[in-house]
Amino acid sequence: MADDRHNSTLSAAYAAKRPEEVAAIYDSWSETYDAEMSVAGYRHPTICLALLARHLPRGAEPILDAGAGTGLIGEWLAIAGYPRVEALDISQGMLDKAAAKGVYAALHRLALGGPLPFADGAYAGIVSAGVFTSGHVGIEGLDELIRICRPGGVMVLTVKNTLWQAGFERRIADLVRQGMIAVVEETPPYASMPGEAGTVPSRGLVLRVG
């Protein structure tokens, strides 16, 4: 059954220990990801889109969709009036699906968590939905995203509660104290997939880069 497969694929992704493992899991999931996430009532892309549109003016460019997957957000960003959106993901299979939607100006097969080959301040906005979560990207992925977002630019992230409590919240507070970022908005924790039993809640975070 699709639901069972989805549960086990996601559990494997959450338990992944190395980036290549995560990439392989998503490569093989890419074909059915959109349909299965739709059945699960997956909400991160919608919530991220709402937050971005509230804080980043229409027409701002370029935007980086970090951990873009199959491009669920990219489709809507174009409709919402952001003319140039680029996708970054570790999984070629997911990027191929995103490419087929024809909504990204560029696709980058790269791993978050290490150095990124983009200039300081390269992006007006960054969105990252469902990526700062178990077995994917942790706090080590944050500083590079801040570096490549321009001063005054907006970052919208979802952060799973387990990560939040294991140091993410502390790191955000440090960065605020250092004047690197301001927290513009934080949602209450919510279930990203209401159709799945036992989902650990996540929060949406809007950061303005200093």
Ligand X SMILES: C[S@@+](CC[C@H](N)C(=O)[O-])C[C@H]1O[C@@H](n2cnc3c(N)ncnc32)[C@H](O)[C@@H]1O
| Contact footprint for ligand X (CB under 6 A) | 19, 22, 26, 44-45, 67-69, 72, 89-91, 94, 111-113, 129-131, 136-137
The CB-of-57 to ligand X minimum distance in angstroms stands at 22
Min dist. Cβ of residue 185 to ligand X (A)? 19
For ligand X, which is the closer residue by CB, 28 or 189? 28
Rounded CA-CA distance 182/206 in Å is 9
Instruction: Give phi and psi for 208, each to the nearest 5.
Output: -110, 130
Which CB sits closer to ligand X, 18 or 58? 18
Task: Report the nearest approach of ligand X to the CB of residue 58 (Å).
Answer: 21
Q: What is the DSSP letter of 90?
A: S
Q: Which is nearer to ligand X, 86 or 89 (CB)?
A: 89
Q: Is the peptide bond before 189 cis (omega within 30 degrees of 0)?
A: no
Measured distance CA(31)–CA(198) in Å, rounded: 25
The distance of closest approach from Cβ of residue 203 to ligand X in the complex, given in angstroms and rounded to an integer, is 15
DSSP-derived 3-state class of residue 20: helix
Which residues make Cβ contacts (< 8 Å) with residue 61, sequence separation at least 6? Answer: 82, 83, 84, 85, 124
Residue nearest to ligand X as judged by C-beta position: 69
Q: Which is nearer to ligand X, 113 or 121 (CB)?
A: 113
